Chain A
């Protein structure tokens, strides 16, 4: 059997960690091969080895039967291996063409020949149905188009093997369908595809084979047609996985949060949120569904005070907080689990103790007359660590930077819940976490809702939104398209709305 790429017994180590432990992956020509594993399992590392960004400590790689050493991306490119990264490697103020040719620039004397490159790119774009403007600046085009630029990069370099790293994380359900079509086109033109993902549905939709890794170790390779999602899931996690969240009917009480016709500017100085209205009651979870960058972040920032409101008003338990400072809003009972835990949620150089009082350090009992009461800090942190199962090397005195993502997130959630808020805002609370932590966090959120808190949830994982929420608000292009009961809707319907098509309108 002719394998176009073979990765044999690959071991890759970093200081103190074995990211890939004796992994084998074989790719046939014209095959779509999925690489499945949890966040942190080592999938991206393995592909970075294939793409020449890392050198493995042990193991070998064969391309078309011949053993090769891939020391840098240029060598990988020369062998016909191309990679579409999860975090796009695009320079935002360069044009599409400049980005594609970077590193391989055609020359006319001393000058870079932009014109001929742009022409070639236009031709490739037509052949594969990618629809990209060679002269557009990256910062001006959509995320979906940026991804297609990344695909074009590989095609421009005559890739035979295209690696896609978590390609659907940033796409709407409809764009995901388009991507599946593009993948089928690529295969038709003779390309072989490796797709790195943790989304079982997509593997079922498009992959032929699937290799599963867990904690850096090789678990097995299965024929996708003959394997169920549940079987693949348990290979990925190591045990039976229950994806449904156990929850009873919600019993909503009074209105806690009122967002009335709020408009907010985004970082590009245009309106990122237009005329949004929303209510959250005590005892219910309202989830915001939408593709990244459609206004969810701006909505949350407007509510918490991190962003100014251009128009409209925000009421918390009937009081207008639109002009209140962030601190005032926290005091009034808003807790916020931020979407970027390391940027916003924690001071990495501080200990757990110090982080646990990040919003309340200047209140009793944590300080008096301007002096910190270290004993009170320690007590508070201990409580949070115990109640929220936060694991760390040195207990409350651990410097937070050294903790794993899951434990950092649990510490943040513990801190926010311990502040006893009226409104708990959770933004992508399980992003990048392992299944165990995800289950735990879901449980706690439902707990909060059951104890009478109002919970506002934003998430990029549609499953999470559907599972957890009582009601769902869908955002697209800065507008709230509709607000529906979770019971009465499904993924397809939500997907259409996320793309801007309202219920009842044509598809």
Chain B
């Protein structure tokens, strides 16, 4: 039990970026646009936040708001960069998979190029966020038995930000006008069009949300456990896509899937330190999340709940 309490905060730290990026992917795909470029959008967010935070930290070394500004800038950068994908996929009816791959490549190369130009090096270091016990109205919540130690001790405040976004997303998707229309665009855009809805506009919004959320995810990695921008997020963007599929395109499913991957990754990383895990060969631990993803993809393939028109470019006037 102690072990779980110890690793849980780390698991959460890995889960949260996955969750927010997968949520972004959810909005994009539910509107009908496949977005393989989540990885690149994370890199863009990481870069934008790293750059802005490192510059700001030079002038305001101890201000905590600097980090929040960085997160906001990451979201903006992600949303803007995603316009490339949106334009190609929605206006030009390009193959969405290829466009997404192009986004990944451009992001990876461009950010390192700019980093090198601006700071002289491909890496940018910053001082990240610190963990703390969660305070609510003066009460230190980490003192609550069991739950307190799991959730409110050693937590990052970004965790709460993302969970709030999750709740809002569920509400928006299933209870609001916008959510209904968004889902219609992903299932059968011709119906939405006949109802007078601007399918193009909704899909743009869906893609930009995925850009903003992915950018935020990349920035959260930076300010929580990484501390440094290096031009890559080691496949986390693709893992988020897997979480999306694993979670069957439903927000709570994605939460469960991301948590699973988070725990799996944590086990891999802490294995050396924890005696009960140290016996397992390094290799098995490292490939464990990827193998499990493959297995999960197989299991969930039969009952796929993917939005019916996802990935199909929408052409007005087509039956």
Contact = CB atoms under 8 A, between A and B. Distances in A.
- Say if the two chains contact directly (CB < 8 Å): yes
Interface stretch (A27-35, A94-102, A459-467): A94-102
Given A103-B195, A103-B196, A112-B176, A87 B319 contact: yes
B177 interface: yes
A93 B180 CA distance: 12
Interface stretch (B40-48, B61-69, B183-191): B183-191
Interface in A193-210: none
A87 B175 CA distance: 28
A89 B195 contact: yes
Interface in A56-98: 72-74, 77, 83, 85, 87, 89-94, 98
Given A93-B187, A94-B187, A103 B176 contact: no
B79 to A, nearest CB: 22
B196 A77 contact: yes
Nearest to A76: B196
A73 B175 contact: no
B14 to A, nearest CB: 33
Interface in B173-214: 175-177, 180-181, 183-184, 187-188, 190-197
A90 B188 contact: yes
Contacts of A83: 194
Contacts of B192: 91, 102-103
In the complex, which of the residues A54, A91, A93 has the most CB atoms of chain B within 10 Å of its own CB atom? A91
Contacts of A93: 187
A110 B175 CA distance: 8
Given A89-B190, A91-B184, A103 B175 contact: no
Interface residues on B, range: 20 to 34
B183 to A, nearest CB: 8
A371 interface: no
Contact of B181 (A74, A89, A102): A102
A379 interface: no
Interface string B67-103: 0000000000000000000000000000000000000
Main secondary structure of the interface of B (DSSP, over half): helix
A48 B319 CA distance: 12
B281 interface: no
A111 B319 CA distance: 32
B194 A91 contact: no
A103 B308 CA distance: 20
B235 interface: no
Contacts of A54: 317
A91 B184 CA distance: 7
A286 to B, nearest CB: 31
Contacts of B197: 102-103
Nearest to A74: B196
A48 B317 CA distance: 9
Interface in B147-177: 171, 175-177
A427 to B, nearest CB: 19
A53 B184 CA distance: 18
B319 A98 contact: no
A324 interface: no
Contacts of A91: 183-184, 187-188, 191-192
A107 B179 CA distance: 13
A98 B180 contact: yes
A105 interface: yes
Given A54-B317, A94-B184, A94-B187, A89 B177 contact: no
Given A54-B317, A103-B197, A104-B195, A112 B175 contact: yes
A94 B195 CA distance: 14
Contacts of A53: 193-194, 316-317
B188 A111 contact: no
Contacts of B184: 91, 94, 102
Contacts of B187: 91-94
Most A Cβ at <10 Å: residue of B180, B193, B317, B319: B180
A121 B192 CA distance: 19
A85 B317 contact: no
Interface in B192-241: 192-197
A103 B181 contact: yes
Contact of B191 (A77, A90, A105): A90
| A48, A54, A87, A110, most chain B CB atoms within 10 A | A110
Nearest to B185: A91
A102 B195 contact: yes
Contacts of B195: 73, 89, 102-104
List the 8 shortest-distance A-B pairs measured between CB atoms, nearest first.
Answer: A103-B195, A74-B196, A89-B191, A89-B194, A73-B196, A102-B195, A103-B196, A105-B177
Interface of A: 48, 53-54, 72-74, 77, 83, 85, 87, 89-94, 98-99, 102-105, 107, 110-112
24 contacts: A48-B317, A53-B316, A73-B194, A73-B195, A87-B190, A87-B319, A89-B193, A89-B194, A90-B191, A91-B192, A92-B188, A93-B187, A94-B180, A94-B184, A99-B191, A102-B181, A102-B191, A102-B197, A104-B195, A105-B177, A105-B180, A110-B171, A112-B175, A112-B176
